[in-house]
Structure 1
Amino acid sequence: MAKNAKTVKVTFLGGVGEVGKNMTAIECGDDMIIVDCGVSFATSEEAPGIDAIIPDITYVKENISKLRGIVLTHGHEDHIGAIPYYADELKNIPIYGTALTIGLLKRKLDKSGKKCNLVVVSAGDTITLGAFKVEFIKVCHSMAGACALAITTPVGTVFVTGDFKIDNTPIDGKKTDIGRIAEIGAKGVLLMLGESTNVERKGSSTSEKVVGQTLENIFASNPDKRIVIACFASSNYRVQQVLTLAHKYHRKVVLAGRSMKGMVDVASACGELQVPKGVIADSVGKLLPSETVILATGSQGEPLSALNKLSKGEFNKINIGPQDLVVLSSSPIPGNEKSVYDVINDLFRKGANVIYDAMNDIHVSGHAYEEELKLMLTLVQPEYFMPVHGEYRHQFKHAEIAKTLGVPSKNIVIPNIGECYGVNHKGIKQHSNVTAGNAYVDGVVLEDGKSVVNDRKSLAEYGMLVVLCAVDTDQGKVVGDVDIVARGFNLTDDVVNSIKSATVDTINGADFDKADVNEIARMVKKAVRKLFYKDRQFPIIIPVIVED
């Protein structure tokens, strides 16, 4: 039936109108594949106490019989991180990715005691999933194993860039396969889904090799200092350069942080990280500062990270002081700035010298800048274009670039989460929206996460009010006094009296022949809430009605 399909259907479950939580469903006839399945991490202000935000996969569950496989562009959390939470639903679905991607995913699954059907592919491989043929094409990014996808369907080819950059001097020598991308573009591409993260940055991104040169200058000019380097554990290219430099300058590397140790284990096992013999030490022990490099997680100021603990003197008896040079080899993710600068301040207070992105060229992005995005569009020559992986302003600017390169305005769509589009050579047609959005993780996936988050926000902003009283259900009256307990704000005597009066009047005026205690509690809650509305206050109100 797929051979006679008239359209390719693309449904966006995450990764549009936002950075992170990437997930896209592509359908043709009775076959469906998923591209990526990632997480995003909210700030405490956005979602208090929430571990992660993942895509709502209701639509996938409803169509699980059509799902032929999941294809992963690379191993970053925003592309693979949701899979362990949905492992039970997806356990029979084959999941494809390159060696490092699958290795990192397997480690995550093992930690959660879950299993999935994981299949390792290489750049250049093509797999068949129902009506789809999916080719994995090497692209450069901030980690190894990243691929664009050329998805051939009976209707036409869908090209997914994934996260990419054009790095002409990658440290592993594996460049973005521009030649193959050009070949695919020359044959004709129906639809391109292009990442938009760095569309606002002019020019072209800097090579990862530049960071290595900067780091070498730091090693050479600080022979007596203990060097502490913090970076994303997933940045295996950055880790590789640190290990190589440490070996060259006769230093031992102490890995600080479980995710850093895990990344080194996985990447070295699959051949994406070359660890010089004897360069890694289990602990600082009796090593002199001049003999030591500490490679740590926590470049984003995460509260439980190795660097944060080091800054507070709480990590494995290692005391940061004037003998230390700390290098933050990353840029703060928007929203993390305060946490990052709090750690930097603590490090300076301890007497360490700190080098961070605002001062030195010690980090480069793994995402394409404007000129690289133009090059990709020029190579692919898509008939239709949808900018993805970015906030709306990023998508909008990417769409504008596509127009300047000859893609007609009518052939460009800026998608939103939950939207579904049918595409063929005659045009793009929007279908009915599907159930999509955020699912919240607090240890487990919460059934009604949005309500939990809203309640936590209300508690944080307005506090909580508990109204307790006993009721004689036969008489239909309050027995004794009404007790008021407030947390997070103060109540004046007048307000307390108003709450008590509203409670008593509501209960005494209720018809107990028609309303049970639960309904009476709801009535009390409504009456008390009205007292706060006039001042635009919305505390969590919990009425506790006890039958006497």
Structure 2
Amino acid sequence: MDAENGELAFLPLGGTGEIGMNLNLYCWREGGRETYLAVDCGIGFGGSELPEVDVMMADPGFIADRREALAGLVITHSHEDHIGAVAWLWPQLKCPVYATPFAAAVLKRKLGEVGLTNQVRITIIPPGGAFEVAPFKLRFIRLAHSIPEAQALVVETPIGIVLHTGDWKLDAAPLIGPPTDEAALAELGQRGVLAIVCDSTNAMVEGHSGSEMDVRTSLSALIRGLTGRVAVTCFASNVARMESIALAAHDAGRSVALVGRSLRNMDAAARECGYLKTLPPFLTEDDIDDVPDDNLLILVTGSQGEPRSALSRIARDDHPRVALGEGDTVIYSSRMIPGNERAIGSVQDALVRRGVRLMTDTDHLVHVSGHAARDELRRMYRLVKPRYAVPVHGEWRHLSAHAELAREAGAEPFLLEDGDVLTLGPGRPAVTDSAPVGRLVADGSRLVPLRGEVMNARRRMLFNGIVLGSVALDQAGNLRGQPSVSAPGLLEPTDRETERVAEDFAEALRDLPVGLRRDDDALKDAARTALRRALGRLFGKRPLVDVHLIRV
């Protein structure tokens, strides 16, 4: 690489201006040639703002069109918003993947579920290891986070060093894995860092994020004093928290059963990589009824109110193996992700209605964040001493707060949104271009654009309903029988309004010119308009309308 002729750019396709869907690109341009490096490839969730969406991800179209220039994909850690889209999007990228042993173990399970195990080349990099994805010279730096083996990525180029932090915090006792390698960060700062691309999740939170050790101590004291069945829900990826819960249960004379697929998968990946080795195997759902209530702790998925999660099903009393009721306790060892308040509240209401006692982070020390608060961000800037700062992994208010803090620390911040191309050098960084961005929605086994016709129709059906009209005509264009109208989610089949709509629809069809009624395409358009008007007069709504035409 030639520093005089080369140019380095950073381009977020997802995860900047939002939390989730992380997909970042670095581009080295030299001699008219571009080479790209992708960092992370994660999912996001629809939440209350997009009720028609379950899982979504950044549209990789920009880099998929340039995949011959994509040298590789590096995974900083195995949280869903950083790794969850790989199995969905890799067929469009078809590049080598680089990950630590734990992230590779998690990813291989995901790839196996979609039949890609033997197609994706995964290179395992030890935590803190150096490697090359030509023309990029790369190195991991170990960071503490709420999942094992979180790594910052050092991107070394002839025009300077960029530190891409991924997600991180400073925790002297993270319990699983070592603390953040502050010595390596300080050494990097001594060498000189051109720019830091840094997590902004808790940039609005003063103070420190807290330590996992404090949560372990609190959980042990809390669970020891409880009777009846105890269920604890946490983020499945927080292996240190799983260990803390299991140790607290052991101290209280309780056996631990895992309930939920994501917990079982994470347990398997952790044990494969040498974590949780001091714990005996967890019980399964089938073992629960064999354990007295006072000797049982259930570790369960569903901390964010996901409707199909195990805890949601328990709250509805339709789980096939697990029931909770009067005298039992549920501990939420997690935070409430913004947007999930209503879903979580519904589950908690249902549990309380069944006589269950709730404990959350609002009234007990049962959770600390995995993301750096402002004091930790200040410490990072003192160690790394970057010339420029690029806040990522946050909504606009988080990015703005981070930018203010970076400026106070002596770094010049650049606020970006997905699609902005920031040329980092040579010379002073500047946004020099933009790339097309969008979101894809996982719809069954396929991906569809969030703003495409399929999801637009889904939104209209969700809020305004759908109406289907069926019309039979002979070859001369005469109506045969009465048209039928079906409006699931809008009209009851036996409502008088349904008959009125059908009658208005039939009258409008009979008023159409005979010549038009002989032309199938013209007739369908006119019939849709007629049915839409009949519904508008009755309801004042614009549902999705379709007409089935039958020639007899």
Q: When the two structures are superposed, what TM-score results if normalisation uses the length of structure 2? A: 0.89
Question: In the alignment, which residue of structure 1 is the partner of 2:148?
Answer: 144
Matched, 1:106 2:108: yes
SS at match of 1:16: coil
Larger CA deviation: 351-360 vs 31-40? 351-360
Matched residue type, 2:236: A
1:416-448 Cα distance to aligned partner (Å, 9 max, x none)? 222222220412343443232111111222345
- Measure the CA separation in 2 of the matches of 1:144 and 1:173: 6
- Measure the CA separation in 2 of the matches of 1:330 and 1:177: 26
Question: In the alignment, which residue of structure 2 is the partner of 1:439?
Answer: 440
Question: In the alignment, which residue of structure 2 is the partner of 1:58?
Answer: 61
Deviation at 1:95, TM superposition (A): 1.0
Identity of aligned residues (%): 32
1:166–1:293 Cα change, 3 Å: same
- Measure the CA separation in 1 of the matches of 2:135 and 2:143: 25
Larger CA deviation: 368-377 vs 12-21? 368-377
Matched residue type, 1:18: E
- Measure the CA separation in 1 of the matches of 2:484 and 2:225: 68
1:259–1:496 Cα change, 3 Å: same
Contact 2:224–2:248 under 8 Å retained in 1: no
Contact 1:465–1:485 under 8 Å retained in 2: yes
SS at match of 1:452: helix
Contact 2:485–2:501 under 8 Å retained in 1: no
Q: Give the alignment of 1:502-513 within 5 angstroms.
A: 502-505=508-511, 508=514, 510=516
- Measure the CA separation in 2 of the matches of 1:315 and 1:493: 41
Structure 1: segments with no counterpart, 5+ residues? none
Kindly tell me the number of residue pairs found equivalent between the two proteins: 538
1:283-307 Cα distance to aligned partner (Å, 9 max, x none)? 1243223322211111122222222
1:272-322 Cα distance to aligned partner (Å, 9 max, x none)? 323324665661243223322211111122222222233344445443234
Matched, 1:43 2:43: no
Question: In the alignment, which residue of structure 1 is the partner of 2:255?
Answer: 252
Q: Give the alignment of 1:168-179 within 5 angstroms.
A: 168-172=172-176, 174-179=178-183
SS at match of 1:119: strand
Matched, 1:12 2:16: no
Question: In the alignment, which residue of structure 2 is the partner of 1:32?
Answer: 36
Contact 2:15–2:394 under 8 Å retained in 1: yes
1:238-282 Cα distance to aligned partner (Å, 9 max, x none)? 001122233334332111112212211110120232332466566
- Measure the CA separation in 1 of the matches of 2:88 and 2:544: 30
Deviation at 1:365, TM superposition (A): 0.7
Contact 1:148–1:159 under 8 Å retained in 2: yes
Question: In the alignment, which residue of structure 2 is the partner of 1:76?
Answer: 79
Larger CA deviation: 430-439 vs 55-64? 430-439
Contact 1:476–1:511 under 8 Å retained in 2: yes
1:530–1:178 Cα change, 3 Å: farther
- Measure the CA separation in 2 of the matches of 1:188 and 1:506: 77
1:448-501 Cα distance to aligned partner (Å, 9 max, x none)? 55322221221121112223334556x566566544433333548776665445
- Measure the CA separation in 2 of the matches of 1:338 and 1:138: 36
Question: In the alignment, which residue of structure 1 is the partner of 2:487?
Answer: 486
Question: In the alignment, which residue of structure 2 is the partner of 1:423?
Answer: 424
1:104–1:178 Cα change, 3 Å: same
1:546–1:310 Cα change, 3 Å: closer
- Measure the CA separation in 2 of the matches of 1:429 and 1:522: 51
- Measure the CA separation in 2 of the matches of 1:420 and 1:351: 54
Contact 1:138–1:148 under 8 Å retained in 2: yes
Q: Give the alignment of 1:464-475 within 5 angstroms.
A: 464-471=466-473
Question: In the alignment, which residue of structure 1 is the partner of 2:494?
Answer: none
Contact 1:478–1:508 under 8 Å retained in 2: no
Matched residue type, 1:269: E
SS at match of 1:36: strand
Contact 2:48–2:339 under 8 Å retained in 1: no
Question: In the alignment, which residue of structure 2 is the partner of 1:120?
Answer: 124
SS at match of 1:542: strand
Q: Give the alignment of 1:212-223 within 5 angstroms.
A: 212-222=216-226
Q: Give the alignment of 1:142-221 within 5 angstroms.
A: 142-172=146-176, 174-221=178-225
1:321-378 Cα distance to aligned partner (Å, 9 max, x none)? 3442221111222222222222222322333322122221211111111222222233
